[in-house]
Each structure stands twice: as C-alpha cells, then as structure tokens.
C-alpha cells in the first residue's frame, strides 16, 4: 500500500481539530489526569456529559503510577472497592479491609474506561488561567485558559486559547494550581473556612481519607474540587499511597455535577 506522509498529517490535523472543536463548549472540563480527575471524568462521560480532560504532562495518571515511593502498588480500602471493581481493576485483599492493586493496571484501566466512555483527553496542555464572569451579581468561572505545555516549558511568550464549560473540576492534586491562580489574581472568596486556601497539612491517613470526601464539592461558583486538591484547599492532611479517598471524592463530585446537569 502506498503511504503518503501528507495524508498522515492530514488525518492527525483533522481528527485533533474535530476533537478540539467539539470541546469548545463543554458540560465539564476536568483539569488534571490523576486518579481523581480520570475517575470523575469517566463517571460523568458514561452518563452522557460532554467532558474533556486537560493534563499538563505528556503522560496521564498523575501520582497513580508511582504507588508508594515508586514501589508501584496502591492500597485502597473497602469503601472504595466498588469503583475499582466496576472499572475492572484487579484487587487483592492483603489484610481485612486493605486491598492492593497494581498501579500500572489501575492507571491504564482507569484511563481506558474514561476514554472509551467518551472523555476527550488533551494531554500536554496546561491550564494557565480561568475565565470569570459576573452573573446576577456573583462571580462565576465559565471556562479555562489553556496553552501548549511545551510553550510553557520553553518560557515562550505565546498567548493562550480558551474553552468554555458549565462546570470545572479542579483535580490538580497537591499544588492546587487552578484555585491558587483564581485567588491570586481575583478578589474572590472560596467556600472554605477562611475564604482563602487553607493549605495542606502533614500525614494523618485516616483523617485525611475521611476529609477528602467531606472536602470535595463546589468550592467556588462553577468550580468543583476533588482528590488531593480538596484537602489542600480545605486545610486537611495527606494520606500517602492510599487512594480510596481519591476515587470516592471523584465519585461524589461526579454525582453532584451530573445531578446539576440533569443526567
């Protein structure tokens, strides 16, 4: 078979263009393809929402690949077992209530579930800012300001592009990048005890896991926070390589947004 290089180029340009064009006005834009972002995106897309996921790195997965200290096994508790089982991630019970999963299996299976449910992945894209509006006297986030990650890495002065979304999910993990930007640049109050970012605390796994679930939700009009970002925003603890709270937090946020979208 003849192989024309320009056809390959045309195929990539056309397909990516179509994916991008269908993401200009989303139901949900997820920022960060770690365990919480991918789980929330999967749960929403499988209910028919128009969802795109933006990830700065070339590789999706966030902290899920690495297990604990690069020993690539993760631990989840009984409460979150159903989510992994539904995804088809094999689990082993190590001791009563403590389940392990291969971190590579967890990452790849979760990513497959998301992409096959219709989530449009945009890896190598950095979300550098948010789009704000005042609606009925209240400020609301209505979209994302995005740029190519290599542009960011090279420090080039290249202006970004924008996509709109009814809801944004902040799933950037420990650095809490989106909310940091929102608070730094704008005179806004978050739905936190102080109105600002409370900041992550040290290790206390049991407390952190419960808090992750409680802290996940709408933190600013149009912005939901999930995963480690929820604890960083609300001032709770870290939990190390226990991932149950990440999955449960994403499931909670996806349910709340699906309900608002009438799904």
User: Under the rule (CB under 6 A), what is the footprint of ligand 48H?
Assistant: 31-37, 54-57, 62-64, 126-127, 171-174, 177, 227-229, 238-240, 243, 246
In the complex, the smallest distance separating the C-beta of residue 37 from ligand 48H, rounded to whole angstroms, is 5
Closer by beta carbon to ligand 48H, 222 or else 262: 222
* Contact criterion met (CB below 8 Å) for 52 and 40: no
In the complex, the smallest distance separating the C-beta of residue 150 from ligand 48H, rounded to whole angstroms, is 13
Closer by beta carbon to ligand 48H, 67 or else 190: 67
- Using alpha carbons, list the distances in angstroms from residue 98 to 94, 142, 259: 6, 40, 31
Closer by beta carbon to ligand 48H, 23 or else 172: 172
Other beta carbons within 10 angstroms of residue 49's beta carbon come to 22
In the complex, the smallest distance separating the C-beta of residue 229 from ligand 48H, rounded to whole angstroms, is 6
Closer by beta carbon to ligand 48H, 139 or else 238: 238
In the complex, the smallest distance separating the C-beta of residue 126 from ligand 48H, rounded to whole angstroms, is 4
Closer by beta carbon to ligand 48H, 77 or else 126: 126
Closer by beta carbon to ligand 48H, 35 or else 143: 35
In the complex, the smallest distance separating the C-beta of residue 249 from ligand 48H, rounded to whole angstroms, is 8
In the complex, the smallest distance separating the C-beta of residue 176 from ligand 48H, rounded to whole angstroms, is 9
Buried residues in 118-152 as b, exposed as e (16+ CB within 10 A): bbbbbebbbbbbbbbeeeeeebebbbbbbbebebb
């Amino acid at each position: 078979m003849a192989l024309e290089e320009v056809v390959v180029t045309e195929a990539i340009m056309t397909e990516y263009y179509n994916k991008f064009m269908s993401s200009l006005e989303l139901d949900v834009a997820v920022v960060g393809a770690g365990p919480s972002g991918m789980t929330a995106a999967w749960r929403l897309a499988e209910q028919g929402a128009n969802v795109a996921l933006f990830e700065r790195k070339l590789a999706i997965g966030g902290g899920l690949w690495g297990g604990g200290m690069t020993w690539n096994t993760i631990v989840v508790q009984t409460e979150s077992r159903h989510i992994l089982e539904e995804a088809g991630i094999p689990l082993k019970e190590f001791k009563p209530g403590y389940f392990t999963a291969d971190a590579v299996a967890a990452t790849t299976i979760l990513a497959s579930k998301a992409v096959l449910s219709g989530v449009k992945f945009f890896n190598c894209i950095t979300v550098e800012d948010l789009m704000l509006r005042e609606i009925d006297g209240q400020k609301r986030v209505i979209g994302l300001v995005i740029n190519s990650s290599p542009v960011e890495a090279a420090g080039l002065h290249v202006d970004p592009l924008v996509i709109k979304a009814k809801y944004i999910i902040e799933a950037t993990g420990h650095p809490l990048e989106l909310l940091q930007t929102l608070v730094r640049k704008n005179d806004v109050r978050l739905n936190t005890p102080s109105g600002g970012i409370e900041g992550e605390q040290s290790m206390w796994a049991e407390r952190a896991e419960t808090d992750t679930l409680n802290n996940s939700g709408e933190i600013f009009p149009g912005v939901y926070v999930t995963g480690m970002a929820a604890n960083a925003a609300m001032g709770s603890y870290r939990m190390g390589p226990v991932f149950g709270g990440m999955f449960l937090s994403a499931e909670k946020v996806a349910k709340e947004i699906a309900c608002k979208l009438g799904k």
